[in-house]
Structure 1
Amino acid sequence: MNILICNDDGYLAQGIAVLARVAAEFANVRVVAPERDRSGVSNSLTLDRPLRIRQAANGFYYVSGTPTDCIHLALHAMPEFTPDLVLSGINHGANMGDDTLYSGTVAAATEAYLLGISAVAFSLNDKGDRYWDTAEAVVWQLLSHLLQAPPTVPMLWNVNIPAVPPDLLQGCKITRLGRRHHAQSIVPARNPRGEEVYWIGPVGEVSDRQQGTDFAENEAGFVTITPLSVDLTDYRQMGEVAEFWQGVAL
């Protein structure tokens, strides 16, 4: 089996090193990741300049582009390695609720899924370096179970690992995405030349952490697995919209 690994934190991130090390116990591994942190770029493609691929001393490949770029280059510019599974992460910080729309980590997995390859995005709900042993143990257990019976049709899963020591893990739950209030503030500042610049502020508070959501169960110490879909159609509104536009002649 071949496993392709990507992330959005860059090829030097600790999380991708952990993920590659664990995955290598189960399969042949290739890492193709951005050359620098590209968090929050979602599914963006680099269309205004050419891309480069380089190989680091540790064997990882790094790309001068986004996580989505990395997936396309890994599949189409490096055809000698055909992945059976794509893993993305381990992200430094959670990717839950509507944060998944912005996440480059989830985007890499999504792009693989769109191209017909099963993919799993892994994120650790901690931005420090305290719980990598927890993340490593969780990834090992999940891959061990997943690869016993690999999926026969492409699937897309979003996995979030709680910020607890391994002995305090409560188990694993299948969850739905929660919701976060994204009324982001704009933080004005001035650069060294005195020009006004702006920072995008921090994310808002969680607005839906009901039981069964990724936010609630992860906070309770559970590893959360959320199966994702890329169909954005709101089927509940189709009848209402059809009624609204009935009789319009174009």
Structure 2
Amino acid sequence: MKILLSNDDGYRAEGLRALDEALTPLADITVVAPDRNRSGASNSLTLDVPLRVMPFGERRFLVVNGTPTDCVHLAVSGLFEGEDDHDMVVSGINDGPNLGDDVIYSGTVAAAVEGRFLGLPAMAVSLVIQPDSGVHYETAARVAAELVMRIQRSPLHQATILNVNVPDVPYDQLRGYQATRLGFRHRSDPIVKMADPRGRPVYWVGPAGGSQDAGPGTDFHAVANNYVSVTPLQIDLTRHSMLDDMRNWLQGRPE
């Protein structure tokens, strides 16, 4: 099995290193990661400037001056021409949660989505770090390895994207796995206005809002109760339940 690893926290991120170490015994690993933190990059592709790929270390570890989506797109679409294709994309381990609405903005999830766009099963793994938690990357790495082994034994459909959120606790404190749906957050906090050294205004995007839809069955609820949340995602954003209403609305006469 050949697995492509990427992330959005940059090639030096501790989570990526932990993921690499955990999966190396299970598969032939290639790492293609951004040259710096690209959190919040979503599914953006770099189209206005050329991308550069540089080796890092002695293994199959490459660094790209682009987004997580760029990294996966390059790796699957010709960067390794003449070699066997990868079998799966795993993205992470993200330094923080990707719960609910977070998946819209997440570069971690976007790397997995790009793998799916290009025909591969994919998984995004995030560690739900809290202000007072201990940053247990080894827990999330072990969870990722267990899920990869499960996929090796019982492959998922090629169209599958798994969004995995792991509580930031020691592994023996996990209560198991739960299949979940995405919850959603309250609106984000207001922007933060500051001044640069010359007195000119600058702005920071405010922190993400707290959980709003976080009841049983959601990813928020699972993680809050020390379960690993595994949410199957799809790319089709069509609101299928509204199609009949939309047809009727379009057929009506304007007032």
Task: State the TM-score, normalizing by the size of structure 2.
Answer: 0.93
Could you say which residue in structure 2 is the equivalent of 1:26?
26
> Any residues of structure 2 matched to 1:194-213 within 5 Å, and which?
194-213=199-218
Could you say which residue in structure 2 is the equivalent of 1:77?
79
Measure how far apart 1:58 and its partner are.
Answer: 4.8
Q: Does 1:126 align with 2:134?
A: no
Could you say which residue in structure 2 is the equivalent of 1:10?
10
Query: Aligned equivalents of 1:229 and 1:129: distance in 2?
Result: 32
Q: Does 1:145 align with 2:176?
A: no
1:19 is paired with a residue whose SS is helix
Task: State the TM-score, normalizing by the size of structure 1.
Answer: 0.95
Q: Does 1:159 align with 2:164?
A: yes
Between 15-24 and 55-64, report the one with greater CA deviation.
55-64
Could you say which residue in structure 2 is the equivalent of 1:40?
40
Q: Does 1:214 align with 2:240?
A: no
The Cα offsets for residues 157-216 of structure 1, whole Å up to 9 and x where unpaired, read as: 100101111111000000000011123311111111211111101011111001010000
Q: Percent identity?
A: 45
Q: Cα distance 1:120–1:243, how it changes in 2: closer, same or farther (>3 A)?
A: same
Query: Aligned equivalents of 2:58 and 2:107: distance in 1?
Result: 23
Measure how far apart 1:139 and its partner are.
Answer: 1.9
Segments of structure 1 that go 5 or more residues without pairing to the other structure are none
1:51 is paired with a residue whose SS is coil
2:153 is paired with a residue whose SS is coil
Q: For this pair of structures, how many residues does the alignment match?
A: 249
Between 185-194 and 73-82, report the one with greater CA deviation.
73-82
1:177 is paired with a residue whose SS is coil
Could you say which residue in structure 2 is the equivalent of 1:110?
113
Measure how far apart 1:248 and its partner are.
Answer: 5.8
AA paired with 1:101?
Answer: I
1:217 is paired with a residue whose SS is helix
Could you say which residue in structure 1 is the equivalent of 2:181?
176
Measure how far apart 1:230 and its partner are.
Answer: 0.8
The Cα offsets for residues 5-28 of structure 1, whole Å up to 9 and x where unpaired, read as: 000000100111111111111111
Segments of structure 2 that go 5 or more residues without pairing to the other structure are none
Measure how far apart 1:140 and its partner are.
Answer: 2.3
Q: Does 1:244 align with 2:249?
A: yes
AA paired with 2:33?
Answer: A
